[in-house]
Amino acid sequence: MAMKFTKDNFKTEVLESNIPVMVDFWAEWCGPCRMVGPIIEELASELSGVAKIGKVNVDEENDLAREYNVMTIPTIMVFKEGSMVERIVGFRDKDELKKLLDI
């Protein structure tokens, strides 16, 4: 299951992670977000221990969305060693998302 990232755990779980982290910025009302959601969940299961996969609900965590300049959702970011290394906007299929992690 994908992790839930919040302002309270983002630093620890994402920025200080020793494995790659994929963060899906999403919202309940967003159609494309609902399409990519099951793919994010699949990746979370498949890559457990190799990468962290999680979600940030922009309605609940608007400070995080603002900090990372999320203007359109879904926005998916990959962090490695505390830095954002990839950023895409919009629906992508599973293979494209997996390639972003480069693992």
Please give the distance of CA 16 from its chain centroid, rounded to a whole number: 15
Is 59 an active-site residue? no
Q: What gap in Å lies between CA 80 and CA 66, rounded to an integer?
A: 20
Q: What gap in Å lies between CA 52 and CA 41, rounded to an integer?
A: 11
Indicate which residue of 30, 84, 88, 89 is catalytic: 30
Is 36 an active-site residue? no
Indicate which residue of 2, 33, 40, 58 is catalytic: 33
Catalytic residues, which ones?
Answer: 30, 33
